[in-house]
Homo-oligomer: A and B are copies of this chain.
Amino acid sequence: MVVESEPCSAQPSSSPPIAAPAVAVEVLRARAYLSRVAEPPAAALGVFVAQVGPVEAAERVRRGAVPDAVRAATGARRTVDRIDADLDAAAALGARLLAPEHPGWPHWAFAAFDNAGVRELAAPLALWVRGPASLLEVSERAVAVVGARAATGYGVHVAGDLAAGLAAAEYTVVSGAAFGIDAAAHRGALAARRPTVAVMACGVDRAYPAAHSELLARIAATGLVVSEYPPGAVPARHRFLVRNRLLAGIGAGTLVVEAGVRSGAQRTAADARALGRVVMAVPGPVTSGLSAGCHELLRHGATLVTRPEEVLEAVGRLGIDLAVDRPRPTRATDHLDKAQAAVHDALPTRAARDPRWLAMEAGLPLDVVRAGLIDLERLGLAEYRDGLWQRATPRR
Protein backbone atom coordinates (compact mmCIF):
# COMPACT_ATOMS: atom_id res chain seq x y z
CA MET A 1 0.00 0.00 0.00
CA VAL A 2 1.26 3.40 -0.97
CA VAL A 3 0.27 6.91 0.07
CA GLU A 4 1.12 10.42 -0.91
CA SER A 5 1.17 12.82 1.99
CA GLU A 6 -1.31 15.56 1.34
CA PRO A 7 -0.16 19.01 2.34
CA CYS A 8 -3.01 21.23 3.44
CA SER A 9 -3.96 24.01 1.03
CA ALA A 10 -4.14 26.51 3.90
CA GLN A 11 -0.34 26.74 3.50
CA PRO A 12 0.50 30.40 2.71
CA SER A 13 2.48 29.55 -0.39
CA SER A 14 2.75 31.20 -3.79
CA SER A 15 3.71 27.94 -5.50
CA PRO A 16 1.90 24.67 -4.73
CA PRO A 17 3.68 22.45 -2.17
CA ILE A 18 5.45 19.48 -3.67
CA ALA A 19 4.15 16.23 -2.22
CA ALA A 20 6.75 13.86 -0.80
CA PRO A 21 7.17 10.98 -3.28
CA ALA A 22 5.48 7.68 -2.69
CA VAL A 23 6.59 5.44 0.19
CA ALA A 24 4.81 2.41 1.59
CA VAL A 25 2.37 3.60 4.24
CA GLU A 26 3.55 1.09 6.83
CA VAL A 27 7.10 2.37 6.43
CA LEU A 28 5.94 5.96 6.83
CA ARG A 29 3.87 5.04 9.92
CA ALA A 30 6.82 3.16 11.41
CA ARG A 31 9.11 6.17 10.85
CA ALA A 32 6.50 8.46 12.43
CA TYR A 33 6.45 6.21 15.50
CA LEU A 34 10.27 5.98 15.61
CA SER A 35 10.69 9.76 15.29
CA ARG A 36 8.81 10.21 18.59
CA VAL A 37 9.84 7.17 20.61
CA ALA A 38 13.49 8.17 21.21
CA GLU A 39 15.07 11.51 21.96
CA PRO A 40 17.52 12.42 19.17
CA PRO A 41 20.32 11.79 18.53
CA ALA A 42 19.21 8.15 18.73
CA ALA A 43 22.34 6.31 17.66
CA ALA A 44 21.48 2.87 19.06
CA LEU A 45 17.96 2.97 17.60
CA GLY A 46 19.39 4.08 14.25
CA VAL A 47 21.70 1.08 14.16
CA PHE A 48 18.79 -1.23 15.08
CA VAL A 49 16.57 0.24 12.32
CA ALA A 50 19.38 -0.25 9.82
CA GLN A 51 19.63 -3.91 10.87
CA VAL A 52 15.98 -4.98 10.85
CA GLY A 53 14.25 -2.24 8.84
CA PRO A 54 11.86 0.43 10.13
CA VAL A 55 8.67 -1.66 10.22
CA GLU A 56 10.11 -4.53 12.25
CA ALA A 57 12.12 -2.09 14.39
CA ALA A 58 8.97 -0.15 15.31
CA GLU A 59 7.06 -3.34 16.09
CA ARG A 60 9.82 -4.70 18.31
CA VAL A 61 10.41 -1.38 20.11
CA ARG A 62 6.68 -1.33 20.91
CA ARG A 63 6.96 -4.82 22.44
CA GLY A 64 10.24 -4.03 24.23
CA ALA A 65 11.94 -6.89 22.36
CA VAL A 66 15.07 -4.92 21.61
CA PRO A 67 18.77 -4.76 22.63
CA ASP A 68 19.48 -3.05 25.97
CA ALA A 69 20.82 0.18 24.46
CA VAL A 70 17.65 0.55 22.39
CA ARG A 71 15.43 -0.27 25.37
CA ALA A 72 17.13 2.43 27.47
CA ALA A 73 16.50 5.00 24.73
CA THR A 74 12.88 4.00 24.01
CA GLY A 75 11.53 2.55 27.26
CA ALA A 76 9.93 5.75 28.53
CA ARG A 77 7.85 6.44 25.42
CA ARG A 78 7.41 3.10 23.68
CA THR A 79 3.72 2.77 24.60
CA VAL A 80 2.88 6.23 23.26
CA ASP A 81 1.04 5.92 19.94
CA ARG A 82 0.63 9.28 18.29
CA ILE A 83 1.21 8.17 14.70
CA ASP A 84 -2.15 9.30 13.34
CA ALA A 85 -2.23 12.45 15.44
CA ASP A 86 1.26 13.47 14.29
CA LEU A 87 0.66 12.74 10.60
CA ASP A 88 -2.69 14.55 10.76
CA ALA A 89 -1.17 17.54 12.55
CA ALA A 90 1.52 17.74 9.88
CA ALA A 91 -0.97 17.41 7.02
CA ALA A 92 -3.18 20.10 8.54
CA LEU A 93 -0.18 22.42 8.36
CA GLY A 94 0.83 21.47 4.83
CA ALA A 95 3.79 19.56 6.23
CA ARG A 96 4.85 15.97 5.59
CA LEU A 97 7.11 13.28 6.96
CA LEU A 98 10.23 12.64 4.88
CA ALA A 99 11.80 9.21 5.38
CA PRO A 100 15.13 7.79 4.22
CA GLU A 101 13.02 5.53 1.96
CA HIS A 102 11.86 8.60 -0.01
CA PRO A 103 13.74 9.31 -3.27
CA GLY A 104 13.96 12.90 -1.98
CA TRP A 105 15.94 11.97 1.16
CA PRO A 106 19.34 13.73 1.12
CA HIS A 107 21.47 10.65 1.68
CA TRP A 108 24.60 12.62 0.85
CA ALA A 109 23.94 15.05 3.71
CA PHE A 110 23.58 12.27 6.26
CA ALA A 111 26.06 9.68 4.98
CA ALA A 112 28.78 11.63 6.78
CA PHE A 113 27.00 11.03 10.11
CA ASP A 114 27.65 7.30 9.90
CA ASN A 115 31.20 7.88 8.71
CA ALA A 116 31.93 10.26 11.59
CA GLY A 117 31.26 7.40 14.00
CA VAL A 118 30.26 9.80 16.76
CA ARG A 119 27.09 8.82 18.63
CA GLU A 120 26.12 12.45 19.08
CA LEU A 121 26.13 12.83 15.31
CA ALA A 122 23.64 10.03 14.61
CA ALA A 123 21.58 10.62 11.47
CA PRO A 124 17.92 11.56 11.92
CA LEU A 125 15.39 8.68 11.72
CA ALA A 126 13.02 10.86 9.70
CA LEU A 127 12.40 14.55 9.10
CA TRP A 128 9.20 16.55 9.33
CA VAL A 129 9.29 19.10 6.55
CA ARG A 130 7.06 22.03 5.71
CA GLY A 131 7.28 23.93 2.45
CA PRO A 132 7.35 23.30 -1.30
CA ALA A 133 11.10 22.78 -1.84
CA SER A 134 12.79 19.41 -2.28
CA LEU A 135 15.25 18.85 0.55
CA LEU A 136 17.38 16.76 -1.77
CA GLU A 137 17.58 19.53 -4.35
CA VAL A 138 18.16 22.44 -1.98
CA SER A 139 20.82 20.56 -0.05
CA GLU A 140 22.85 19.83 -3.16
CA ARG A 141 24.35 23.32 -2.98
CA ALA A 142 23.83 24.54 0.55
CA VAL A 143 25.74 26.54 3.16
CA ALA A 144 24.80 26.70 6.83
CA VAL A 145 25.00 30.29 8.06
CA VAL A 146 24.93 30.50 11.84
CA GLY A 147 25.82 32.84 14.65
CA ALA A 148 24.87 34.70 17.78
CA ARG A 149 21.29 35.53 18.71
CA ALA A 150 22.43 38.77 20.37
CA ALA A 151 24.25 39.78 17.17
CA THR A 152 25.55 43.29 16.60
CA GLY A 153 24.39 45.54 13.78
CA TYR A 154 27.66 44.65 12.06
CA GLY A 155 26.97 40.92 12.26
CA VAL A 156 23.37 41.28 11.07
CA HIS A 157 24.50 43.40 8.14
CA VAL A 158 27.27 41.03 7.09
CA ALA A 159 25.11 37.89 7.55
CA GLY A 160 22.40 39.40 5.35
CA ASP A 161 24.88 40.45 2.67
CA LEU A 162 26.68 37.11 2.57
CA ALA A 163 23.42 35.15 2.53
CA ALA A 164 22.03 37.28 -0.29
CA GLY A 165 25.24 36.76 -2.25
CA LEU A 166 25.15 33.01 -1.72
CA ALA A 167 21.49 32.85 -2.67
CA ALA A 168 22.16 34.88 -5.81
CA ALA A 169 24.79 32.26 -6.71
CA GLU A 170 22.02 29.65 -6.33
CA TYR A 171 23.27 28.30 -3.04
CA THR A 172 20.70 27.45 -0.38
CA VAL A 173 21.15 29.25 2.93
CA VAL A 174 20.42 26.87 5.81
CA SER A 175 20.01 28.25 9.32
CA GLY A 176 18.10 27.88 12.56
CA ALA A 177 15.53 30.70 12.44
CA ALA A 178 16.81 32.17 15.71
CA PHE A 179 17.12 35.87 16.47
CA GLY A 180 20.21 37.67 15.22
CA ILE A 181 22.47 36.05 12.64
CA ASP A 182 20.08 33.20 11.76
CA ALA A 183 17.20 35.54 10.95
CA ALA A 184 19.49 37.90 9.01
CA ALA A 185 20.75 34.97 6.93
CA HIS A 186 17.24 33.73 6.10
CA ARG A 187 16.12 37.28 5.27
CA GLY A 188 19.13 37.82 3.01
CA ALA A 189 18.29 34.69 1.05
CA LEU A 190 14.61 35.64 0.83
CA ALA A 191 15.58 39.13 -0.37
CA ALA A 192 17.48 37.43 -3.19
CA ARG A 193 14.24 35.50 -3.98
CA ARG A 194 15.75 32.11 -3.30
CA PRO A 195 14.40 29.31 -1.10
CA THR A 196 16.03 29.01 2.31
CA VAL A 197 15.88 26.18 4.85
CA ALA A 198 15.20 26.57 8.57
CA VAL A 199 16.09 23.59 10.75
CA MET A 200 14.14 23.75 14.03
CA ALA A 201 14.74 22.48 17.55
CA CYS A 202 10.98 21.98 17.98
CA GLY A 203 8.05 20.71 15.91
CA VAL A 204 7.50 22.34 12.52
CA ASP A 205 4.05 23.36 13.76
CA ARG A 206 5.60 25.67 16.36
CA ALA A 207 6.90 29.15 15.69
CA TYR A 208 10.00 29.53 17.79
CA PRO A 209 10.83 32.21 18.61
CA ALA A 210 7.21 33.39 18.47
CA ALA A 211 8.31 36.74 17.05
CA HIS A 212 9.52 34.85 13.97
CA SER A 213 6.17 33.28 13.04
CA GLU A 214 5.91 35.53 9.99
CA LEU A 215 9.55 34.86 9.00
CA LEU A 216 8.93 31.10 9.32
CA ALA A 217 5.80 31.41 7.18
CA ARG A 218 7.86 33.23 4.52
CA ILE A 219 10.54 30.52 4.67
CA ALA A 220 7.91 27.77 4.36
CA ALA A 221 6.26 29.56 1.42
CA THR A 222 9.18 28.90 -0.96
CA GLY A 223 11.77 26.89 0.98
CA LEU A 224 11.54 24.45 3.85
CA VAL A 225 11.06 24.39 7.60
CA VAL A 226 12.60 21.13 8.80
CA SER A 227 12.68 19.25 12.11
CA GLU A 228 13.46 15.78 13.35
CA TYR A 229 11.09 16.44 16.27
CA PRO A 230 7.42 15.48 15.82
CA PRO A 231 4.66 18.10 15.78
CA GLY A 232 4.13 19.68 19.17
CA ALA A 233 7.70 19.08 20.40
CA VAL A 234 8.93 21.98 22.52
CA PRO A 235 12.33 23.63 21.99
CA ALA A 236 14.17 22.29 25.06
CA ARG A 237 17.67 23.66 25.46
CA HIS A 238 19.60 20.52 24.58
CA ARG A 239 17.56 20.21 21.38
CA PHE A 240 19.31 23.27 19.96
CA LEU A 241 22.68 21.60 20.30
CA VAL A 242 21.30 18.34 18.87
CA ARG A 243 19.64 20.23 16.02
CA ASN A 244 22.93 21.94 15.13
CA ARG A 245 24.34 18.72 13.69
CA LEU A 246 21.60 18.77 11.03
CA LEU A 247 22.59 22.32 10.00
CA ALA A 248 26.20 21.17 9.78
CA GLY A 249 25.21 18.07 7.80
CA ILE A 250 22.93 19.72 5.27
CA GLY A 251 25.45 22.48 4.52
CA ALA A 252 28.49 21.69 2.37
CA GLY A 253 30.10 24.16 4.73
CA THR A 254 29.23 26.01 7.91
CA LEU A 255 29.78 29.75 8.04
CA VAL A 256 29.93 31.40 11.47
CA VAL A 257 29.25 35.14 11.23
CA GLU A 258 29.38 36.24 14.87
CA ALA A 259 29.81 34.05 17.92
CA GLY A 260 30.94 34.32 21.51
CA VAL A 261 33.73 32.09 22.76
CA ARG A 262 31.23 29.59 24.12
CA SER A 263 28.36 29.40 21.75
CA GLY A 264 26.00 27.17 19.83
CA ALA A 265 27.56 28.41 16.60
CA GLN A 266 30.94 27.10 17.72
CA ARG A 267 29.29 23.76 18.43
CA THR A 268 27.78 23.71 14.95
CA ALA A 269 31.25 24.44 13.59
CA ALA A 270 32.68 21.55 15.62
CA ASP A 271 29.96 19.25 14.24
CA ALA A 272 30.73 20.46 10.72
CA ARG A 273 34.41 19.69 11.19
CA ALA A 274 33.60 16.22 12.60
CA LEU A 275 31.42 15.61 9.54
CA GLY A 276 34.26 16.59 7.21
CA ARG A 277 32.55 19.81 6.16
CA VAL A 278 34.26 23.13 5.52
CA VAL A 279 34.23 25.53 8.47
CA MET A 280 34.33 29.24 7.69
CA ALA A 281 34.21 32.30 9.90
CA VAL A 282 33.80 36.01 9.36
CA PRO A 283 36.33 38.19 11.21
CA GLY A 284 35.28 41.29 13.07
CA PRO A 285 36.69 43.83 15.51
CA VAL A 286 38.99 42.18 18.06
CA THR A 287 37.32 44.48 20.56
CA SER A 288 33.97 42.70 20.04
CA GLY A 289 33.16 39.71 22.24
CA LEU A 290 30.77 38.57 19.52
CA SER A 291 33.66 38.14 17.10
CA ALA A 292 35.86 36.38 19.65
CA GLY A 293 34.33 32.98 18.83
CA CYS A 294 34.95 33.57 15.13
CA HIS A 295 38.56 34.56 15.76
CA GLU A 296 39.07 31.47 17.88
CA LEU A 297 37.73 29.30 15.05
CA LEU A 298 40.03 31.10 12.61
CA ARG A 299 43.03 30.55 14.86
CA HIS A 300 42.15 26.86 14.87
CA GLY A 301 42.01 26.40 11.13
CA ALA A 302 38.67 27.74 9.92
CA THR A 303 38.72 29.55 6.59
CA LEU A 304 38.48 33.33 6.80
CA VAL A 305 35.78 34.72 4.49
CA THR A 306 34.76 38.29 3.84
CA ARG A 307 32.70 38.03 0.64
CA PRO A 308 30.23 35.55 -0.91
CA GLU A 309 32.85 34.71 -3.56
CA GLU A 310 35.21 33.49 -0.86
CA VAL A 311 32.50 31.28 0.63
CA LEU A 312 31.80 29.83 -2.79
CA GLU A 313 35.49 29.16 -3.30
CA ALA A 314 35.62 27.27 0.00
CA VAL A 315 32.52 25.12 -0.58
CA GLY A 316 32.42 25.12 -4.37
CA ARG A 317 33.82 22.93 -7.06
CA LEU A 318 37.55 22.45 -6.84
CA GLY A 319 39.40 24.78 -9.20
CA ILE A 320 36.20 26.19 -10.67
CA ASP A 321 34.55 28.39 -8.06
CA LEU A 322 37.71 30.38 -7.32
CA ALA A 323 37.40 33.76 -5.67
CA VAL A 324 39.27 36.41 -7.61
CA ASP A 325 41.22 38.76 -5.35
CA ARG A 326 39.63 42.14 -4.85
CA PRO A 327 40.49 44.56 -7.64
CA ARG A 328 43.53 46.57 -6.65
CA PRO A 329 43.83 50.31 -7.01
CA THR A 330 46.20 51.06 -9.89
CA ARG A 331 48.64 53.93 -10.35
CA ALA A 332 50.06 55.49 -13.49
CA THR A 333 53.53 54.42 -12.32
CA ASP A 334 52.62 50.73 -11.93
CA HIS A 335 54.30 49.55 -15.11
CA LEU A 336 57.57 51.47 -14.81
CA ASP A 337 60.71 49.40 -14.58
CA LYS A 338 63.12 49.87 -11.68
CA ALA A 339 65.25 52.59 -13.24
CA GLN A 340 62.24 54.51 -14.58
CA ALA A 341 60.61 54.36 -11.15
CA ALA A 342 63.79 55.62 -9.46
CA VAL A 343 64.06 58.54 -11.88
CA HIS A 344 60.37 59.34 -11.44
CA ASP A 345 60.84 59.20 -7.68
CA ALA A 346 63.74 61.64 -7.88
CA LEU A 347 61.85 64.12 -10.10
CA PRO A 348 60.70 67.14 -8.08
CA THR A 349 57.03 68.07 -8.35
CA ARG A 350 57.75 71.82 -8.24
CA ALA A 351 61.33 72.99 -9.01
CA ALA A 352 62.72 71.46 -12.23
CA ARG A 353 66.21 69.86 -12.26
CA ASP A 354 68.81 68.79 -14.82
CA PRO A 355 69.68 65.12 -15.54
CA ARG A 356 72.98 65.34 -13.64
CA TRP A 357 71.22 66.40 -10.42
CA LEU A 358 68.68 63.61 -10.92
CA ALA A 359 71.44 61.02 -11.45
CA MET A 360 72.96 62.00 -8.12
CA GLU A 361 69.61 61.97 -6.34
CA ALA A 362 68.60 58.58 -7.72
CA GLY A 363 72.08 57.08 -7.47
CA LEU A 364 71.93 56.04 -11.15
CA PRO A 365 74.32 56.46 -14.11
CA LEU A 366 73.62 59.58 -16.22
CA ASP A 367 72.74 57.61 -19.37
CA VAL A 368 70.20 55.52 -17.46
CA VAL A 369 68.59 58.70 -16.12
CA ARG A 370 68.46 60.26 -19.62
CA ALA A 371 66.80 57.16 -21.08
CA GLY A 372 64.37 57.04 -18.18
CA LEU A 373 63.39 60.68 -18.66
CA ILE A 374 62.53 60.07 -22.32
CA ASP A 375 60.35 57.12 -21.32
CA LEU A 376 58.63 59.12 -18.59
CA GLU A 377 57.96 62.01 -20.94
CA ARG A 378 56.37 59.62 -23.45
CA LEU A 379 54.13 58.28 -20.65
CA GLY A 380 53.19 61.81 -19.62
CA LEU A 381 54.93 61.40 -16.27
CA ALA A 382 57.77 63.91 -16.79
CA GLU A 383 57.88 67.40 -18.31
CA TYR A 384 60.87 68.97 -20.08
CA ARG A 385 61.27 72.76 -20.01
CA ASP A 386 64.37 74.83 -20.78
CA GLY A 387 66.78 71.95 -20.24
CA LEU A 388 65.23 70.98 -16.89
CA TRP A 389 62.85 68.21 -15.86
CA GLN A 390 60.04 67.96 -13.39
CA ARG A 391 57.27 65.54 -12.56
CA ALA A 392 54.03 65.71 -14.55
CA THR A 393 50.56 64.44 -13.76
CA PRO A 394 49.64 61.82 -16.36
CA ARG A 395 46.82 62.56 -18.78
CA ARG A 396 43.78 60.38 -18.24
Q: Taking beta carbons and an 8 Å cutoff, which residues of A are in contact with B?
A: 37-39, 72-77, 80, 154, 157-158, 236-238, 260-262, 282-287, 291-292, 295-296, 298-299, 303-304, 306-307, 310, 325-326, 328-329, 341-342, 345-346, 359-366, 368-369
CA distance A80 to B359 in the complex (A): 13
A284 closest partner in B (C-beta): B285
- Could you list some 21 contacts between A and B, CB below 8 A? A37-B363, A72-B364, A74-B363, A76-B362, A76-B369, A77-B360, A158-B286, A236-B346, A236-B361, A238-B342, A261-B325, A282-B286, A283-B283, A283-B284, A283-B291, A283-B298, A284-B285, A286-B306, A286-B307, A299-B310, A304-B304
Docked-complex contact A39 and B362, CB < 8 angstroms: yes
**Contact between A76 and B310 (Cβ–Cβ < 8 Å)?**
no
Which residue from chain B places its CB closest to the CB of A364 in the assembled complex? B76
4 further interface pairs, Cβ-Cβ under 8 Å (given A154-B287, A283-B286, A286-B306)? A261-B328, A286-B307, A295-B304, A296-B325
- Inter-subunit contact A287/B363 (CB<8 Å): no
By a CB distance below 8 angstroms, the chain B residues around A284 are: 283-286
In Å, the complex CA distance between A209 and B232 comes to 69
Min CB distance A203 to B, Å, is 14
**Cross-interface CB contact of A341 among B74, B238, B285, B298, cutoff 8 Å:** B238
Name the CB-closest residue of B to A368: B72
Task: Report B-chain residues with C-beta under 8 Å of the C-beta of A154.
Answer: 285, 287
Query: Chain B nearest CB: distance from A48 CB in Å?
Result: 15
Q: In whole angstroms, what is the CA distance A322 to B126 when docked? A: 46
Chain B residues within 8 Å of A260, by CB: 329
**Bound-state Cα–Cα, A370 to B359, Å:** 92
- Which 9 pairs show the lowest CB-CB distances between chains A and B? A283-B283, A39-B363, A286-B306, A76-B359, A75-B365, A262-B328, A238-B345, A298-B304, A236-B345
Complex formed: what's the CA distance from A261 to B307 in Å?
A: 14
B304 touches A283 (CB 8 A): yes
Complex: A125 Cα to B238 Cα, angstroms: 66
Q: Which B residues are CB-close (under 8 A) to A261?
A: 325-326, 328-329
User: In the docked arrangement, what's the CA distance between A49 and B168, Å?
Assistant: 61
Q: How far is the CA of A363 from the CA of B298 in the complex (A)?
A: 37
Contact present for B345 and A72 (CB under 8 Å) = no
Residue of chain B at shortest CB distance from A73:
B363
Complex contact A77–B363 (CB within 8 A): yes
- Tell me the bound Cα distance from A310 to B300 in angstroms: 12
> Within 8 Å CB of A77, what residues of B?
360, 363
Chain B residues with Cβ under 8 A from A38's Cβ? Answer: 363
Judge whether A76 and B363 touch: CB under 8 Å: yes
Q: Which residue of B lies closest to A292 (CB)?
A: B326
CB contacts (< 8 Å) of A341 on chain B: these are 238
Cα-based distance from A292 to B286 in the complex (angstroms): 15
Residues of B within 8 A of A73 (CB): 363
Q: Are A76 and B365 neighbours in the complex by a CB distance under 8 Å?
A: yes
Contact B326 A296 (CB under 8 A): yes
Q: Given A283-B304, A285-B285, does the pair A345, B237 have CB atoms closer than 8 Å? A: yes
**Contact between chains at A329 and B262 (CB < 8 Å):** yes
- How far, in whole Å, are A296 and B287 apart by their CA atoms in the complex? 20
Of A76, A329, A359, most B-chain CB atoms within 10 Å = A76
Closest to A119 in B: B338
Shortest distance between the CB of A45 and any CB in chain B (Å): 10
